[in-house]
Amino acid sequence: MKIVVTGATGFLGRHLVPALERAGHQVVSATRRPPAPGGQPETGCARWVEFDLERPHTVQAALAGADAAYYLVHHMDGRPGYAAREADSARLFAREAEAAAVKRIIYLGGMRPRRGTPSAHLESRLHTGVLLRQGRVPVFELRAGMIVGAGSQSWQIVRDLSARLPFMVLPRWLQAKSAPAALSDVLDALAHAAGLPVACAGVYGLPGPAALSGTEMLRQTSRLLGLAPVMLKVPFLSPKLSSLWLRLVTRADVSVARELVRGVAGDLEAGAPDFWSQMPGVFSPKPFRTAAAEALAADPRPFGTTGDLWEAMTLRLVGRSARAPA
C-alpha cells in the first residue's frame, strides 16, 4: 500500500513512518521542508516530498497515487488565527485527497471536555475532524488525549515539572481527569487503521486504561524519578496564569504549552467507541506508569540541577537571554 504521512518530521510522524515501513508499506514522507539529497532524514524514509498547505500544488503532488494519507499537521505556531488556518487546511486536504482518489484518510484528533465548552485548541482539533469527514474520502479519526512519549509537548510539561520543582503549587484545574495513552499504543493504532476495511471508518477514541488527574500524573512521574516533591493544592491560579510560568520551568514550546494547558480545565473524553476493540487479539493499552517509564528511558537528557533552574528563571524574569537547563 502506498501511504503518505503528512507532518512526517513532527513528533508522531517521525515515529510512525518507520513503523509503517516495517509493516511493508511504501511510505512517502510529506513535509514543508524535505531534507536535501544526501541529508539525514529524521525518519529514515527513502522518499520525501514537499507538502505545504499554503501551496496547494504541493498537496496535489504529494497525494498523487496514494492509497492512504495520514493527516498529522496543526498550526499552533504562536501566530493569531490558527483555528481559521487549520479549518482552511482541512478543507483543502479533503478536497485534494478526493481528487487524487485516496481511499482513506487517517487523522489523529483530540479529546473533548465532558462538560462545558472546549478550549480553542480542542475545538479546532474537533472541527478539523468534522471538516475532513465532510469530504468523500472515508476518514478514520482517532481521538487521543495526552500521548506519553519522548517528544510529546504535553508529556514534556509533566516530565519537566516533576523533575525540576521540589515544591509544587497545584491549582484546581490539575484535578481534571483524562486518560493518557502510551506513544507505542497510539502508533500501533494508527498503523493498524491503514489495514482495516474502509467500512470501519469513523470516529474512535484512544484512551489509556485509567482516567488520571494532572496531579496524579505528576506524582507518579516524580516517583519514577526517585523524587518526592511537596505538593500544595490551591483553589486559584487559572490555566491562563499557569501557562505564563510554564515557560520558566519547561522546555515545551511556549505557544503550544499555553494552548494545551487551557484545554485541561475539565475532564476530557473521546465521546466515541474505543479503537482498541479493532486491534488484533486482546489488546490492553499500557498503564500510565509503564508509558512514563518508557518515555523517560527514551529521553535520557539530564534535567539540570535545581540551582540551574532557579538561575535560568531569574535571568528570564529580569529580561536577560538565558538558556533553560537541558
User: pLDDT tens-digit profile of 90-141?
Assistant: 999 999 999 999 999 999 999 998 887 888 888 999 999 999 999 999 999 9
Q: Rounding to the nearest 10 degrees, give the CA dihedral for residues 297, 281, 270, 149.
A: 10
> What torsion, rounded to 10 degrees, do the Cα atoms 176, 246, 181, 108 define?
100
- pTM for this structure? 0.88
Q: Residue ranges per domain, the chain? A: 2-149+180-208+268-278
Record the cell numbers describing residue 61, joined without a space: 503532488
Model pLDDT for residues 40-79, shown as the tens digit of each residue? 555 566 699 999 999 999 999 999 999 999 999 987 666 6
- Could you confirm whether domain 2-149+180-208+268-278 is CATH 3.40.50.2300? no
Vertex 283, ends 189 and 68: CA angle to 5°? Answer: 20
Give the tens place of pLDDT for each residue, 153-171: 889 989 988 888 887 878 7
